[in-house]
């Protein structure tokens, strides 16, 4: 099957490579020629485990090509996937200008029976707009469908090759048949529904997960006040099958390119349809304030940051990615510097990306021990594998003064840290 993938951002590169791996003829389209030039050489413009290998393999097999030309990409394609960005508009809703522009550009080259699939996260009702735009530029019959993407950065290739489920939002038998056949190569668990429902699935999933994180952070805050240990509480509640024990990592709140944006977006979308008293506004507000609240606690604990040396481990928004969008480091480090701290930082993958975004006085180190050398306080922000099993004796020997070890993601056993001669501070314990 010929598949055109419009947009070679994160979702676009992963999806086009995976579809090509399944044996389809995939043409990736982007208006950014420089980006395509590097993709053609197998260079992925971001760090994602396993993606470069897949990109090279599928191009070498001849299944995956890239172009800036709509006619080349769309002519003869049975499925056209739109995976362009949907940045936040000033009112918090998704700005759909790229979705609409690509719909207009692809329309003249559509083949009869082609299916235009929206994979970008868009509000319910967008399909009608896209249908109207395309219909202004072609007389042929086509379908519009919604297939939301649930992959996570850091595990994107595995998530796409082995999804928990595929949600197909379709409005015709033809689209259902073709898209079911296409996705049955990935999983048997295909859930077919109306396109509006599929779009709500995407918003609901991300907003539920963001709510879950905010919830456990609120419980963690209570534990800090009453001597409970949040990790024990998680173990206790997680045994209830309705609750489950996974995806419960308290910390400094959620970041990245999706949750903060999708929560703001649904809050704004809810207000736009007359549902202004929503939970989502509160979730967003709590998450926005979370780092400031935690930094104030740390400041009090260590007796102020002025003149202290602080080592910060982990600068990306989570492990296994160099994506720094809404990364905790972007709030934590400027706040430390403003309070008069000397800051030494390290990260396995994202130093190049973060450097232009942080104050010039930050000292960059090539590994955690170098960052910790001479530090009074260590803050573990992101649990990269390299930072999960630090030699605590060595850490203690390299640090000076009170030697606070702030483990924001509860990766360490508090007693072991204390036994090494460090002062432990976790989240909610
Ligand atoms: C998220 C969703 O998990 C994906 O299903 C979805 O497809 C994607 O957004 C998207 O909409 O494109 P992602 O942003 O890559 O994926 O990362 P997650 O691993 O979900 O983490 C998001 C944020 O939540 C991170 O800041 C992470 O540190 C934080 N988090 C996660 C917690 O604070 N606690 C947790 O228990 C889990």
Residue 211 Cβ inside 6 Å of ligand 1? The answer reads no
Which of 152, 246, 287 is the pocket-test mutation for ligand 1 (most atoms within 8 Å of CB)? Answer: 152
Supply the residue whose CA is at minimum distance from atom 27 of ligand 1.
Answer: 254
Is any atom of ligand 1 closer than 6 Å to the C-beta of 254?
Answer: yes
| pLDDT tens-digit profile, the chain (429 residues) | 999 999 999 999 999 999 999 999 999 999 999 999 999 999 998 999 999 999 999 999 999 999 999 999 999 999 999 999 999 888 888 999 999 999 999 999 999 999 999 999 999 999 999 999 999 999 999 999 999 999 999 999 999 999 999 999 999 999 999 999 999 999 999 999 999 999 999 999 999 999 999 999 999 999 999 999 999 999 999 999 999 988 889 999 999 999 999 999 999 999 999 998 999 999 999 999 999 999 999 999 999 999 999 999 999 999 999 999 999 999 999 999 999 999 999 999 999 999 999 999 999 999 999 999 999 999 999 999 999 999 999 999 999 999 999 999 999 999 999 999 999 999 999
Q: Is 152 in the pocket of ligand 1 (CB under 6 A)?
A: yes
pLDDT on residue 370: 98
Q: Is the CB of residue 384 below 6 angstroms from any atom belonging to ligand 1?
A: no
Whole-number pLDDT of residue 253: 98
Query: pTM for this one?
Result: 0.95
**Is the CB of residue 249 below 6 angstroms from any atom belonging to ligand 1?**
yes
Cα of 257 from ligand 1 centre, angstroms:
9
Ligand 1: residue whose CA is nearest its atom 16: 152
Nearest ligand 1 atom to alpha carbon 206? 2
pLDDT of residue 245: 86
11 Cα nearest atom in ligand 1? 12
- The candidate with the shortest Cα–Cα distance to 383, out of 291, 288, 249, is 249
Which residue lies with its CA nearest to atom 17 of ligand 1?
152
């Amino acid at each position: 099957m010929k598949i055109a993938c419009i947009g070679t951002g994160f979702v676009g590169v992963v999806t086009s490579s995976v579809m090509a791996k399944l044996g389809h003829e995939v043409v990736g389209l982007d208006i950014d020629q420089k980006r395509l030039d590097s993709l053609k050489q197998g260079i992925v413009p971001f760090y994602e485990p396993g993606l470069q290998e897949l990109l090279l393999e599928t191009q070498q097999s001849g299944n995956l090509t890239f172009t800036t030309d709509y006619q080349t990409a769309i002519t003869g394609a049975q499925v056209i996937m739109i995976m362009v960005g949907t940045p936040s508009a000033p009112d918090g809703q998704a700005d759909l200008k790229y979705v609409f522009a690509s719909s207009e550009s692809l329309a003249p080259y559509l083949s009869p029976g082609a299916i235009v699939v929206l994979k970008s996260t868009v509000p319910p009702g967008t399909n009608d707009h896209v249908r109207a735009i395309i219909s202004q530029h072609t007389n042929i019959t086509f379908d519009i469908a919604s297939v939301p993407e649930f992959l996570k950065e850091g595990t994107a290739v595995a998530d796409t090759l082995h999804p928990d489920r595929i949600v197909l939002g379709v409005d015709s038998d033809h689209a259902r048949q073709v898209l079911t056949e296409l996705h049955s190569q990935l999983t048997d668990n295909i859930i077919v529904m109306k396109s509006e429902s599929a779009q709500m699935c995407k918003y609901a999933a991300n907003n539920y997960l963001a709510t879950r994180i905010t919830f456990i952070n609120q419980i963690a805050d209570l534990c800090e006040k009453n001597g409970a240990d949040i990790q024990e509480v998680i173990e206790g509640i997680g045994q209830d099958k309705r609750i489950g024990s996974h995806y419960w990592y308290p910390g400094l709140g959620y970041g990245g390119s999706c949750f903060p944006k999708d929560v703001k977006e649904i809050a704004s979308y809810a207000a736009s349809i007359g549902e202004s008293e929503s939970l989502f506004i509160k979730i967003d507000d709590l998450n926005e304030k979370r780092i400031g609240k935690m930094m104030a606690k740390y400041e009090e604990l260590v007796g102020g940051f002025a003149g202290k040396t602080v080592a910060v481990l982990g600068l990306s928004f989570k492990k296994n990615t160099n994506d720094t969008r809404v990364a905790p480091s972007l709030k934590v480090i400027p706040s430390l510097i403003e309070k008069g701290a000397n800051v030494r930082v390290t990260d396995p993958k994202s130093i190049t990306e973060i450097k232009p975004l942080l104050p010039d006085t930050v000292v960059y180190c090539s590994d955690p021990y170098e960052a910790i050398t001479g530090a009074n306080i260590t803050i573990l922000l992101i649990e990269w594998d390299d930072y999960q099993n630090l030699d605590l004796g060595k850490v203690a020997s390299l640090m000076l003064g009170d030697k606070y070890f702030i483990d924001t993601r509860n990766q360490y056993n508090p007693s072991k840290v204390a036994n090494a001669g460090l002062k432990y501070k976790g989240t909610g314990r």
